[in-house]
Chain A
Amino acid sequence: MDKDIAILAIESSCDETAASVVVNGRDVRSNVISSQIDIHTLYGGVVPEIASRKHTERINQVVRAGLSEAGMTLADMDAIAVTYGPGLVGPLLIGVSEAKALSFATGIPLIGVHHIEGHISANYIANKDLEPPFACLVVSGGHTHLVLVKDYGEYEILGRTQDDAAGEAFDKVAREIGLGYPGGPKIDKVSKEGNPAAIDFPRGKVAGSRYDFSFSGMKSSVLNYLNTCKMKNIRISVPDVAASFQQAVVDVLVSHAMWAVDEFHLTKFALAGGVASNSALRAAMEKACAERNVEFFCPPPILCTDNAAMIGSAAYYEYIKGVRSGLDLNAKPGLRLGER
Protein backbone atom coordinates (compact mmCIF):
# COMPACT_ATOMS: atom_id res chain seq x y z
CA MET A 1 0.00 0.00 0.00
CA ASP A 2 1.23 3.44 -0.89
CA LYS A 3 0.77 6.50 1.28
CA ASP A 4 -2.26 6.59 3.57
CA ILE A 5 -5.14 8.69 2.26
CA ALA A 6 -6.81 10.83 4.94
CA ILE A 7 -10.16 12.43 4.16
CA LEU A 8 -12.06 15.05 6.16
CA ALA A 9 -15.75 14.43 5.58
CA ILE A 10 -18.67 16.75 6.31
CA GLU A 11 -22.37 15.83 6.43
CA SER A 12 -25.29 18.23 6.92
CA SER A 13 -28.10 16.92 4.73
CA CYS A 14 -30.79 16.80 7.40
CA ASP A 15 -30.67 17.52 11.12
CA GLU A 16 -27.23 16.15 12.02
CA THR A 17 -24.12 18.30 11.72
CA ALA A 18 -21.27 15.82 11.38
CA ALA A 19 -17.56 15.68 10.61
CA SER A 20 -15.17 12.77 10.48
CA VAL A 21 -11.64 11.84 9.48
CA VAL A 22 -11.41 8.52 7.64
CA VAL A 23 -8.12 6.98 6.53
CA ASN A 24 -8.05 4.66 3.49
CA GLY A 25 -11.83 4.45 3.38
CA ARG A 26 -12.34 2.14 6.35
CA ASP A 27 -10.28 3.39 9.25
CA VAL A 28 -12.41 5.93 11.16
CA ARG A 29 -10.20 8.27 13.19
CA SER A 30 -13.07 10.46 14.40
CA ASN A 31 -16.84 10.52 13.99
CA VAL A 32 -18.36 13.68 15.48
CA ILE A 33 -22.15 14.06 15.29
CA SER A 34 -24.03 17.07 16.63
CA SER A 35 -27.72 16.17 16.57
CA GLN A 36 -30.56 18.67 16.60
CA ILE A 37 -33.20 16.09 17.45
CA ASP A 38 -34.23 17.78 20.71
CA ILE A 39 -35.17 20.98 18.89
CA HIS A 40 -37.08 19.29 16.06
CA THR A 41 -38.95 17.04 18.50
CA LEU A 42 -40.78 20.20 19.61
CA TYR A 43 -42.24 20.45 16.10
CA GLY A 44 -42.86 16.76 15.46
CA GLY A 45 -40.37 16.65 12.60
CA VAL A 46 -37.40 18.39 11.05
CA VAL A 47 -38.01 22.10 10.32
CA PRO A 48 -35.64 22.99 7.45
CA GLU A 49 -35.16 26.66 8.40
CA ILE A 50 -34.33 25.81 12.00
CA ALA A 51 -32.04 22.97 10.90
CA SER A 52 -30.21 25.34 8.53
CA ARG A 53 -29.68 27.90 11.29
CA LYS A 54 -28.36 25.28 13.71
CA HIS A 55 -25.98 23.85 11.11
CA THR A 56 -24.59 27.35 10.56
CA GLU A 57 -24.03 27.86 14.27
CA ARG A 58 -22.27 24.53 14.81
CA ILE A 59 -20.43 23.70 11.60
CA ASN A 60 -17.01 25.07 12.56
CA GLN A 61 -17.04 23.56 16.04
CA VAL A 62 -17.99 20.18 14.59
CA VAL A 63 -15.28 20.30 11.91
CA ARG A 64 -12.69 21.34 14.48
CA ALA A 65 -13.74 18.49 16.78
CA GLY A 66 -13.56 16.05 13.87
CA LEU A 67 -9.95 17.04 13.21
CA SER A 68 -8.82 17.27 16.82
CA GLU A 69 -10.39 13.94 17.87
CA ALA A 70 -8.45 12.35 15.02
CA GLY A 71 -5.31 14.06 16.30
CA MET A 72 -4.83 15.62 12.88
CA THR A 73 -4.95 19.03 11.22
CA LEU A 74 -6.34 20.27 7.91
CA ALA A 75 -2.81 20.13 6.50
CA ASP A 76 -2.82 16.34 7.01
CA MET A 77 -5.85 15.88 4.75
CA ASP A 78 -5.65 14.53 1.19
CA ALA A 79 -9.23 15.49 0.37
CA ILE A 80 -12.26 17.24 1.79
CA ALA A 81 -15.51 15.36 1.21
CA VAL A 82 -19.02 16.67 1.61
CA THR A 83 -22.57 15.41 1.11
CA TYR A 84 -24.10 17.46 -1.71
CA GLY A 85 -27.39 15.56 -2.07
CA PRO A 86 -29.98 14.26 -1.72
CA GLY A 87 -31.40 15.99 1.34
CA LEU A 88 -32.82 19.31 2.50
CA VAL A 89 -31.37 22.11 0.39
CA GLY A 90 -30.85 24.63 3.22
CA PRO A 91 -28.96 22.19 5.45
CA LEU A 92 -26.98 20.75 2.49
CA LEU A 93 -25.77 24.25 1.53
CA ILE A 94 -24.07 24.75 4.89
CA GLY A 95 -21.83 21.72 4.55
CA VAL A 96 -21.20 22.38 0.86
CA SER A 97 -20.29 26.07 1.43
CA GLU A 98 -18.03 25.22 4.36
CA ALA A 99 -16.28 22.42 2.47
CA LYS A 100 -15.73 24.57 -0.62
CA ALA A 101 -14.26 27.40 1.47
CA LEU A 102 -11.94 24.95 3.23
CA SER A 103 -10.87 23.49 -0.10
CA PHE A 104 -10.32 26.93 -1.67
CA ALA A 105 -8.35 28.25 1.30
CA THR A 106 -6.08 25.19 1.60
CA GLY A 107 -5.86 23.91 -1.97
CA ILE A 108 -6.95 20.46 -0.75
CA PRO A 109 -9.11 18.68 -3.37
CA LEU A 110 -12.89 18.62 -2.91
CA ILE A 111 -15.10 15.56 -3.40
CA GLY A 112 -18.89 15.82 -3.44
CA VAL A 113 -20.54 12.66 -2.13
CA HIS A 114 -24.01 11.19 -2.65
CA HIS A 115 -25.73 10.72 0.71
CA ILE A 116 -27.09 7.25 -0.13
CA GLU A 117 -23.66 6.10 -1.36
CA GLY A 118 -22.46 7.19 2.05
CA HIS A 119 -25.07 5.05 3.83
CA ILE A 120 -24.11 2.03 1.72
CA SER A 121 -20.41 2.66 2.44
CA ALA A 122 -21.04 2.56 6.21
CA ASN A 123 -20.90 -1.20 5.64
CA TYR A 124 -17.29 -0.95 4.44
CA ILE A 125 -16.37 0.67 7.73
CA ALA A 126 -18.19 -1.91 9.83
CA ASN A 127 -16.93 -4.87 7.81
CA LYS A 128 -13.35 -4.46 6.69
CA ASP A 129 -13.54 -7.43 4.30
CA LEU A 130 -16.79 -6.53 2.55
CA GLU A 131 -16.34 -5.91 -1.15
CA PRO A 132 -18.83 -5.53 -4.00
CA PRO A 133 -20.87 -7.07 -5.50
CA PHE A 134 -23.70 -7.16 -2.98
CA ALA A 135 -27.21 -5.82 -2.56
CA CYS A 136 -28.01 -3.13 -0.03
CA LEU A 137 -31.31 -1.96 1.39
CA VAL A 138 -31.05 1.69 2.43
CA VAL A 139 -33.90 2.60 4.76
CA SER A 140 -34.18 5.88 6.61
CA GLY A 141 -36.53 8.77 7.36
CA GLY A 142 -35.97 10.17 3.90
CA HIS A 143 -35.01 7.19 1.75
CA THR A 144 -36.02 3.63 0.89
CA HIS A 145 -33.77 2.21 -1.82
CA LEU A 146 -32.97 -1.35 -2.78
CA VAL A 147 -29.62 -1.08 -4.52
CA LEU A 148 -27.38 -3.49 -6.38
CA VAL A 149 -23.78 -2.51 -5.59
CA LYS A 150 -21.92 -3.81 -8.65
CA ASP A 151 -18.58 -2.25 -7.80
CA TYR A 152 -17.22 0.68 -5.80
CA GLY A 153 -19.20 3.70 -6.94
CA GLU A 154 -21.24 1.60 -9.38
CA TYR A 155 -24.87 1.17 -8.47
CA GLU A 156 -28.11 -0.04 -9.94
CA ILE A 157 -31.31 0.94 -8.18
CA LEU A 158 -33.63 -2.05 -8.20
CA GLY A 159 -36.45 -0.44 -6.28
CA ARG A 160 -37.38 2.69 -4.41
CA THR A 161 -40.40 3.96 -2.55
CA GLN A 162 -43.13 5.50 -4.65
CA ASP A 163 -44.45 7.60 -1.76
CA ASP A 164 -43.33 7.74 1.89
CA ALA A 165 -39.93 6.54 3.02
CA ALA A 166 -40.12 3.67 5.52
CA GLY A 167 -38.87 5.89 8.35
CA GLU A 168 -41.40 8.56 7.42
CA ALA A 169 -44.21 6.00 7.74
CA PHE A 170 -42.87 5.03 11.17
CA ASP A 171 -42.93 8.71 12.19
CA LYS A 172 -46.49 9.24 11.00
CA VAL A 173 -47.88 6.11 12.63
CA ALA A 174 -46.02 6.88 15.86
CA ARG A 175 -47.59 10.33 15.91
CA GLU A 176 -51.09 8.85 15.43
CA ILE A 177 -50.74 6.38 18.28
CA GLY A 178 -49.31 9.05 20.56
CA LEU A 179 -45.70 7.85 20.70
CA GLY A 180 -44.27 11.07 19.29
CA TYR A 181 -41.13 11.87 17.31
CA PRO A 182 -38.85 10.23 16.24
CA GLY A 183 -41.18 7.35 15.45
CA GLY A 184 -38.73 4.61 14.47
CA PRO A 185 -37.01 3.99 17.81
CA LYS A 186 -40.26 4.51 19.73
CA ILE A 187 -42.22 1.97 17.66
CA ASP A 188 -39.30 -0.45 17.88
CA LYS A 189 -39.31 -0.21 21.67
CA VAL A 190 -43.04 -0.46 22.32
CA SER A 191 -43.42 -3.27 19.75
CA LYS A 192 -41.41 -5.56 21.98
CA GLU A 193 -44.45 -5.68 24.29
CA GLY A 194 -46.98 -6.16 21.48
CA ASN A 195 -48.24 -8.98 19.29
CA PRO A 196 -47.04 -8.55 15.69
CA ALA A 197 -49.85 -10.81 14.45
CA ALA A 198 -52.62 -8.98 16.34
CA ILE A 199 -53.78 -6.91 13.37
CA ASP A 200 -53.31 -7.91 9.74
CA PHE A 201 -52.25 -4.68 8.04
CA PRO A 202 -51.81 -4.94 4.25
CA ARG A 203 -48.36 -5.41 2.75
CA GLY A 204 -47.90 -2.54 0.27
CA LYS A 205 -47.32 -3.43 -3.39
CA VAL A 206 -46.58 -1.36 -6.46
CA ALA A 207 -48.31 -2.68 -9.56
CA GLY A 208 -45.96 -3.68 -12.36
CA SER A 209 -42.85 -2.84 -10.40
CA ARG A 210 -41.77 -5.75 -8.27
CA TYR A 211 -38.96 -4.09 -6.32
CA ASP A 212 -40.57 -0.71 -5.65
CA PHE A 213 -42.10 0.11 -2.28
CA SER A 214 -45.27 1.85 -1.16
CA PHE A 215 -45.78 2.68 2.49
CA SER A 216 -48.46 5.33 2.33
CA GLY A 217 -51.28 2.76 1.93
CA MET A 218 -49.96 0.81 4.90
CA LYS A 219 -49.93 3.97 6.95
CA SER A 220 -53.49 4.80 5.86
CA SER A 221 -54.74 1.36 6.86
CA VAL A 222 -53.35 1.97 10.36
CA LEU A 223 -55.21 5.30 10.48
CA ASN A 224 -58.41 3.61 9.26
CA TYR A 225 -58.04 0.94 11.92
CA LEU A 226 -57.61 3.60 14.62
CA ASN A 227 -60.66 5.53 13.38
CA THR A 228 -62.81 2.42 13.25
CA CYS A 229 -61.82 1.51 16.81
CA LYS A 230 -62.61 5.02 17.94
CA MET A 231 -66.05 4.98 16.33
CA LYS A 232 -66.88 1.56 17.77
CA ASN A 233 -65.46 2.60 21.13
CA ILE A 234 -62.92 -0.24 21.07
CA ARG A 235 -59.82 0.38 23.20
CA ILE A 236 -56.71 -0.04 21.13
CA SER A 237 -53.52 -1.67 22.29
CA VAL A 238 -50.67 0.67 21.32
CA PRO A 239 -48.06 -2.12 21.53
CA ASP A 240 -50.18 -4.38 19.29
CA VAL A 241 -50.77 -1.67 16.68
CA ALA A 242 -47.09 -0.73 16.72
CA ALA A 243 -45.88 -4.33 16.51
CA SER A 244 -48.35 -5.25 13.75
CA PHE A 245 -47.48 -2.19 11.67
CA GLN A 246 -43.78 -2.81 12.16
CA GLN A 247 -44.22 -6.42 11.13
CA ALA A 248 -46.00 -5.35 7.94
CA VAL A 249 -43.15 -2.98 7.04
CA VAL A 250 -40.49 -5.56 7.89
CA ASP A 251 -42.25 -8.25 5.81
CA VAL A 252 -42.28 -6.00 2.76
CA LEU A 253 -38.64 -4.94 3.16
CA VAL A 254 -37.40 -8.50 3.72
CA SER A 255 -39.41 -10.04 0.88
CA HIS A 256 -38.19 -7.47 -1.65
CA ALA A 257 -34.62 -7.87 -0.46
CA MET A 258 -34.76 -11.64 -0.80
CA TRP A 259 -36.27 -11.48 -4.29
CA ALA A 260 -33.16 -9.54 -5.28
CA VAL A 261 -30.85 -12.00 -3.57
CA ASP A 262 -32.53 -14.89 -5.42
CA GLU A 263 -32.76 -13.20 -8.82
CA PHE A 264 -29.15 -12.01 -8.89
CA HIS A 265 -27.71 -15.04 -7.08
CA LEU A 266 -26.06 -12.83 -4.48
CA THR A 267 -23.97 -14.17 -1.65
CA LYS A 268 -23.87 -10.94 0.36
CA PHE A 269 -26.58 -8.62 1.59
CA ALA A 270 -26.28 -5.38 3.58
CA LEU A 271 -28.60 -3.01 5.43
CA ALA A 272 -28.00 0.72 5.79
CA GLY A 273 -29.70 3.92 6.95
CA GLY A 274 -31.38 4.97 10.17
CA VAL A 275 -34.14 2.32 10.01
CA ALA A 276 -31.43 -0.36 9.77
CA SER A 277 -31.18 0.12 13.53
CA ASN A 278 -34.69 -1.30 13.93
CA SER A 279 -34.26 -4.51 15.89
CA ALA A 280 -37.13 -6.41 14.23
CA LEU A 281 -35.84 -5.55 10.74
CA ARG A 282 -32.30 -6.62 11.63
CA ALA A 283 -33.48 -9.91 13.13
CA ALA A 284 -35.80 -10.75 10.23
CA MET A 285 -33.22 -9.85 7.58
CA GLU A 286 -30.52 -11.84 9.35
CA LYS A 287 -32.81 -14.88 9.54
CA ALA A 288 -33.83 -14.65 5.89
CA CYS A 289 -30.20 -14.37 4.82
CA ALA A 290 -29.15 -17.29 7.01
CA GLU A 291 -31.87 -19.47 5.43
CA ARG A 292 -30.33 -18.80 2.03
CA ASN A 293 -26.75 -19.08 3.21
CA VAL A 294 -26.22 -15.43 2.35
CA GLU A 295 -23.74 -13.39 4.35
CA PHE A 296 -25.57 -10.57 6.19
CA PHE A 297 -24.04 -7.17 6.96
CA CYS A 298 -25.40 -4.35 9.04
CA PRO A 299 -23.47 -1.38 10.47
CA PRO A 300 -23.76 -0.55 14.18
CA PRO A 301 -26.42 2.11 14.99
CA ILE A 302 -23.85 4.95 15.18
CA LEU A 303 -23.01 4.33 11.50
CA CYS A 304 -26.67 3.82 10.49
CA THR A 305 -27.97 7.26 11.42
CA ASP A 306 -26.56 10.20 9.48
CA ASN A 307 -22.82 10.58 10.06
CA ALA A 308 -19.78 11.85 8.21
CA ALA A 309 -17.62 8.73 8.53
CA MET A 310 -19.74 7.00 5.90
CA ILE A 311 -19.24 10.03 3.61
CA GLY A 312 -15.48 9.78 4.13
CA SER A 313 -15.58 6.10 3.21
CA ALA A 314 -17.56 6.68 0.01
CA ALA A 315 -15.26 9.60 -0.88
CA TYR A 316 -12.16 7.42 -0.60
CA TYR A 317 -13.31 5.14 -3.42
CA GLU A 318 -14.04 8.22 -5.53
CA TYR A 319 -10.64 9.68 -4.61
CA ILE A 320 -8.67 6.66 -5.78
CA LYS A 321 -10.62 6.71 -9.05
CA GLY A 322 -9.47 10.31 -9.53
CA VAL A 323 -12.88 11.91 -9.03
CA ARG A 324 -12.69 15.56 -7.90
CA SER A 325 -15.35 18.25 -7.59
CA GLY A 326 -15.02 21.86 -8.72
CA LEU A 327 -15.44 24.88 -6.47
CA ASP A 328 -18.78 25.42 -8.22
CA LEU A 329 -20.18 22.30 -6.52
CA ASN A 330 -23.79 22.99 -5.61
CA ALA A 331 -26.23 21.36 -3.22
CA LYS A 332 -28.60 19.05 -5.12
CA PRO A 333 -31.58 18.15 -2.96
CA GLY A 334 -32.97 15.69 -5.53
CA LEU A 335 -29.66 14.11 -6.55
CA ARG A 336 -30.17 10.60 -7.90
CA LEU A 337 -27.94 7.66 -7.14
CA GLY A 338 -25.23 7.34 -9.78
CA GLU A 339 -25.83 10.93 -11.02
CA ARG A 340 -22.81 13.26 -11.00
Chain B
Amino acid sequence: MKILAIEASGPVAGCALWEDGTLTAEYSVQYKKKHSQSLVPMLEEMKEMVDLELSSIDFIAVTSGPGSFTGLRIGAATVKGLGLALDKPVLPVPTVDSLACNLYGTDRVICPLMDARRQQVYTGIYENRDGLNVLRPQCVTALADIAEELNGLGREVVFLGDGVPVNEKALAELMKVPYLLAPAHLSRQRAAATAVRAAQIYAEKGEAALVSSDDFRPEYLRIPQAERERGDKRNYKVFV
Protein backbone atom coordinates (compact mmCIF):
# COMPACT_ATOMS: atom_id res chain seq x y z
CA MET B 1 0.00 0.00 0.00
CA LYS B 2 1.14 3.50 -0.87
CA ILE B 3 0.06 6.62 1.00
CA LEU B 4 0.81 10.18 -0.05
CA ALA B 5 0.50 12.44 3.01
CA ILE B 6 0.12 16.19 3.08
CA GLU B 7 0.54 18.63 5.96
CA ALA B 8 -0.38 22.33 5.86
CA SER B 9 -2.42 22.83 9.02
CA GLY B 10 0.10 24.85 10.99
CA PRO B 11 3.60 26.31 10.75
CA VAL B 12 4.92 23.34 8.75
CA ALA B 13 4.41 22.65 5.07
CA GLY B 14 5.14 19.01 4.42
CA CYS B 15 4.59 15.92 2.37
CA ALA B 16 5.55 12.29 2.83
CA LEU B 17 5.37 8.99 1.01
CA TRP B 18 4.65 5.80 2.98
CA GLU B 19 4.95 2.41 1.26
CA ASP B 20 4.04 -0.77 3.15
CA GLY B 21 5.50 0.42 6.42
CA THR B 22 8.50 2.18 4.93
CA LEU B 23 8.77 5.95 5.02
CA THR B 24 10.17 6.40 1.50
CA ALA B 25 10.35 10.17 1.64
CA GLU B 26 9.50 13.08 3.84
CA TYR B 27 9.82 16.78 3.06
CA SER B 28 9.20 19.18 5.89
CA VAL B 29 9.67 22.94 5.96
CA GLN B 30 8.87 25.39 8.72
CA TYR B 31 9.77 28.69 7.16
CA LYS B 32 7.49 31.73 7.36
CA LYS B 33 3.97 31.09 6.17
CA LYS B 34 4.07 30.46 2.47
CA HIS B 35 2.42 27.08 2.19
CA SER B 36 0.53 28.30 -0.85
CA GLN B 37 3.83 28.74 -2.67
CA SER B 38 5.87 25.89 -1.28
CA LEU B 39 3.56 22.90 -0.94
CA VAL B 40 3.12 21.86 -4.59
CA PRO B 41 6.80 22.44 -5.52
CA MET B 42 7.69 20.23 -2.53
CA LEU B 43 5.40 17.51 -3.87
CA GLU B 44 7.02 17.86 -7.26
CA GLU B 45 10.52 17.58 -5.85
CA MET B 46 9.62 14.54 -3.73
CA LYS B 47 7.99 12.86 -6.72
CA GLU B 48 11.11 13.38 -8.86
CA MET B 49 13.44 12.31 -6.05
CA VAL B 50 11.83 8.91 -5.53
CA ASP B 51 10.48 8.33 -9.07
CA LEU B 52 6.95 8.33 -7.72
CA GLU B 53 4.27 7.24 -10.16
CA LEU B 54 1.35 9.29 -8.85
CA SER B 55 -1.21 6.83 -10.19
CA SER B 56 0.28 4.12 -7.97
CA ILE B 57 -0.78 5.68 -4.68
CA ASP B 58 -3.77 4.15 -2.89
CA PHE B 59 -5.06 7.26 -1.19
CA ILE B 60 -4.07 10.74 -0.02
CA ALA B 61 -3.78 11.35 3.71
CA VAL B 62 -4.11 14.89 5.02
CA THR B 63 -4.24 16.55 8.42
CA SER B 64 -7.84 17.68 8.29
CA GLY B 65 -7.84 20.14 11.19
CA PRO B 66 -7.91 21.92 13.44
CA GLY B 67 -5.28 24.46 12.49
CA SER B 68 -4.79 27.72 10.66
CA PHE B 69 -7.96 28.21 8.60
CA THR B 70 -5.95 29.30 5.59
CA GLY B 71 -3.40 26.51 5.97
CA LEU B 72 -6.13 23.90 6.27
CA ARG B 73 -7.73 25.17 3.08
CA ILE B 74 -4.47 25.22 1.13
CA GLY B 75 -4.01 21.59 2.15
CA ALA B 76 -7.63 20.75 1.40
CA ALA B 77 -7.73 22.38 -2.05
CA THR B 78 -4.41 20.75 -2.95
CA VAL B 79 -5.68 17.34 -1.85
CA LYS B 80 -8.94 17.89 -3.70
CA GLY B 81 -7.13 18.78 -6.92
CA LEU B 82 -4.90 15.72 -6.59
CA GLY B 83 -7.86 13.50 -5.77
CA LEU B 84 -9.81 14.77 -8.76
CA ALA B 85 -6.94 14.47 -11.22
CA LEU B 86 -5.74 11.06 -9.98
CA ASP B 87 -9.15 9.67 -9.07
CA LYS B 88 -7.97 8.82 -5.54
CA PRO B 89 -9.84 9.06 -2.23
CA VAL B 90 -8.79 11.04 0.83
CA LEU B 91 -8.11 9.83 4.36
CA PRO B 92 -8.56 12.75 6.80
CA VAL B 93 -6.39 12.57 9.92
CA PRO B 94 -7.29 14.81 12.88
CA THR B 95 -4.37 17.22 13.29
CA VAL B 96 -3.95 16.81 17.04
CA ASP B 97 -4.03 12.99 16.70
CA SER B 98 -1.29 13.23 14.07
CA LEU B 99 0.81 15.41 16.37
CA ALA B 100 0.39 12.89 19.21
CA CYS B 101 1.81 10.20 16.88
CA ASN B 102 5.15 12.05 16.86
CA LEU B 103 5.78 10.34 20.21
CA TYR B 104 5.67 6.63 20.92
CA GLY B 105 6.38 4.05 23.60
CA THR B 106 6.11 6.35 26.57
CA ASP B 107 4.18 5.80 29.83
CA ARG B 108 3.54 9.51 29.97
CA VAL B 109 0.37 11.03 28.60
CA ILE B 110 0.88 13.09 25.45
CA CYS B 111 -0.63 16.54 25.16
CA PRO B 112 -0.19 18.40 21.86
CA LEU B 113 -0.78 22.15 22.08
CA MET B 114 -1.46 24.22 18.98
CA ASP B 115 -1.75 27.98 19.34
CA ALA B 116 -5.39 28.78 18.56
CA ARG B 117 -5.09 32.53 19.37
CA ARG B 118 -7.76 34.24 21.46
CA GLN B 119 -6.12 32.73 24.58
CA GLN B 120 -7.02 29.21 23.48
CA VAL B 121 -5.27 26.09 22.29
CA TYR B 122 -6.20 23.23 20.01
CA THR B 123 -5.35 20.24 22.11
CA GLY B 124 -6.20 16.70 23.24
CA ILE B 125 -4.85 14.05 25.62
CA TYR B 126 -3.37 10.77 24.37
CA GLU B 127 -1.46 7.64 25.27
CA ASN B 128 0.78 6.08 22.64
CA ARG B 129 2.49 3.22 24.46
CA ASP B 130 1.73 0.60 21.83
CA GLY B 131 -0.95 2.21 19.72
CA LEU B 132 -2.74 5.54 19.90
CA ASN B 133 -5.31 5.79 22.68
CA VAL B 134 -7.38 8.94 22.77
CA LEU B 135 -8.14 10.03 26.36
CA ARG B 136 -9.46 13.45 25.40
CA PRO B 137 -10.40 13.96 21.72
CA GLN B 138 -9.07 17.05 19.99
CA CYS B 139 -10.84 20.26 20.96
CA VAL B 140 -10.36 23.99 21.29
CA THR B 141 -10.17 25.21 24.87
CA ALA B 142 -8.37 27.47 27.34
CA LEU B 143 -4.91 26.31 28.43
CA ALA B 144 -6.07 26.34 32.07
CA ASP B 145 -8.82 23.83 31.27
CA ILE B 146 -6.52 21.27 29.69
CA ALA B 147 -3.94 21.82 32.46
CA GLU B 148 -6.60 21.14 35.08
CA GLU B 149 -7.61 17.94 33.31
CA LEU B 150 -3.99 16.78 33.13
CA ASN B 151 -3.44 17.60 36.80
CA GLY B 152 -6.53 15.56 37.60
CA LEU B 153 -5.12 12.53 35.76
CA GLY B 154 -2.11 12.69 38.07
CA ARG B 155 0.26 11.29 35.43
CA GLU B 156 3.45 12.67 33.95
CA VAL B 157 2.96 14.58 30.69
CA VAL B 158 4.87 15.34 27.47
CA PHE B 159 3.84 18.53 25.69
CA LEU B 160 4.55 19.25 22.05
CA GLY B 161 3.36 21.59 19.32
CA ASP B 162 3.62 25.24 18.34
CA GLY B 163 1.41 26.12 21.33
CA VAL B 164 4.26 25.21 23.70
CA PRO B 165 6.63 28.19 23.23
CA VAL B 166 3.81 30.75 23.53
CA ASN B 167 2.48 29.09 26.71
CA GLU B 168 5.68 27.96 28.39
CA LYS B 169 5.39 30.42 31.30
CA ALA B 170 1.71 29.70 31.82
CA LEU B 171 2.39 25.93 31.84
CA ALA B 172 5.00 26.40 34.58
CA GLU B 173 2.37 28.09 36.71
CA LEU B 174 -0.54 25.82 35.90
CA MET B 175 1.01 22.34 35.90
CA LYS B 176 1.08 20.41 39.17
CA VAL B 177 2.32 17.14 37.66
CA PRO B 178 5.82 16.65 36.18
CA TYR B 179 6.08 17.35 32.46
CA LEU B 180 8.54 17.39 29.57
CA LEU B 181 8.66 19.50 26.41
CA ALA B 182 9.41 17.56 23.22
CA PRO B 183 12.58 18.53 21.29
CA ALA B 184 12.45 20.28 17.91
CA HIS B 185 12.40 17.18 15.68
CA LEU B 186 9.32 15.82 17.48
CA SER B 187 7.49 19.01 18.28
CA ARG B 188 5.74 20.08 15.09
CA GLN B 189 3.23 18.65 12.63
CA ARG B 190 4.88 16.10 10.36
CA ALA B 191 3.46 14.60 7.19
CA ALA B 192 5.26 11.37 8.14
CA ALA B 193 3.22 11.10 11.35
CA THR B 194 0.06 11.80 9.35
CA ALA B 195 0.97 8.99 6.94
CA VAL B 196 1.61 6.57 9.80
CA ARG B 197 -1.63 7.53 11.55
CA ALA B 198 -3.51 7.18 8.26
CA ALA B 199 -2.12 3.66 7.82
CA GLN B 200 -3.30 2.80 11.34
CA ILE B 201 -6.78 4.20 10.72
CA TYR B 202 -7.01 2.35 7.41
CA ALA B 203 -5.93 -0.89 9.10
CA GLU B 204 -8.73 -0.44 11.65
CA LYS B 205 -11.55 0.85 9.51
CA GLY B 206 -10.64 -0.05 5.94
CA GLU B 207 -12.54 1.67 3.12
CA ALA B 208 -14.92 3.27 5.64
CA ALA B 209 -12.09 5.62 6.64
CA LEU B 210 -11.92 7.09 3.13
CA VAL B 211 -13.90 10.03 1.73
CA SER B 212 -14.08 11.23 -1.84
CA SER B 213 -11.97 14.27 -2.67
CA ASP B 214 -15.21 16.07 -3.61
CA ASP B 215 -16.77 15.56 -0.19
CA PHE B 216 -13.68 16.12 1.93
CA ARG B 217 -13.80 19.29 4.02
CA PRO B 218 -11.52 20.55 6.78
CA GLU B 219 -12.49 20.31 10.45
CA TYR B 220 -12.08 23.89 11.71
CA LEU B 221 -13.47 23.31 15.24
CA ARG B 222 -14.56 26.96 15.13
CA ILE B 223 -17.28 28.74 13.22
CA PRO B 224 -16.37 31.93 11.33
CA GLN B 225 -16.28 35.10 13.42
CA ALA B 226 -19.07 36.73 11.40
CA GLU B 227 -21.32 33.74 12.02
CA ARG B 228 -20.47 33.78 15.72
CA GLU B 229 -21.23 37.49 16.05
CA ARG B 230 -24.44 37.17 14.14
CA GLY B 231 -25.40 34.29 16.42
CA ASP B 232 -24.58 36.35 19.52
CA LYS B 233 -26.84 39.16 18.36
CA ARG B 234 -29.69 36.76 17.91
CA ASN B 235 -28.96 35.12 21.23
CA TYR B 236 -28.27 31.73 19.70
CA LYS B 237 -26.38 29.17 21.72
CA VAL B 238 -23.01 29.38 20.06
CA PHE B 239 -20.26 26.80 20.24
CA VAL B 240 -16.64 27.72 19.72
Contact = CB atoms under 8 A, between A and B. Distances in A.
Interface of A: 42-43, 47, 49-50, 52-53, 55-57, 59-61, 63-64, 74, 89-90, 93-102, 104-106, 326-331
A328 B225 contact: no
Contact of A52 (B36, B38, B43, B73): B73
Contacts of B214: 60-61, 64
A79 to B, nearest CB: 14
Given A49-B69, A56-B218, A106 B85 contact: yes
Given A56-B217, A98-B77, A328-B41, A63 B36 contact: no
B79 A56 contact: no
B223 to A, nearest CB: 9
A93 B44 contact: no
Interface in B188-234: 213-214, 217-218, 220, 224-227, 230
Contacts of B54: 105
Contacts of B217: 53, 56-57
Contact of A330 (B34, B77, B79, B213): B34
Task: Identify whether the interface residues of B are mostly helix, strand, loop, or mixed.
Answer: helix
A327 B36 CA distance: 10
Interface in B74-98: 74, 76-86
A330 B37 CA distance: 5
Nearest to B81: A101
Interface in B19-54: 34, 36-41, 43-44, 54
Given A60-B214, A101-B40, A104-B44, A94 B77 contact: yes
A331 B70 CA distance: 12
Contacts, number: 108
A298 to B, nearest CB: 33
Contact of B82 (A49, A74, A101, A330): A101
Nearest to A90: B70
Contact of B40 (A47, A56, A104): A104
Contact of A328 (B37, B70, B84, B227): B37
Nearest to B8: A97
Contact of A60 (B83, B218, B224): B83
Contacts of A105: 54, 81-82, 85-86
29 contacts: A49-B225, A49-B226, A53-B73, A53-B220, A56-B80, A57-B217, A60-B84, A60-B213, A64-B84, A64-B214, A89-B70, A90-B73, A93-B36, A93-B74, A97-B39, A97-B76, A98-B78, A98-B80, A100-B78, A101-B80, A101-B81, A105-B81, A105-B85, A326-B41, A327-B44, A328-B41, A330-B34, A330-B37, A331-B36
B228 to A, nearest CB: 10
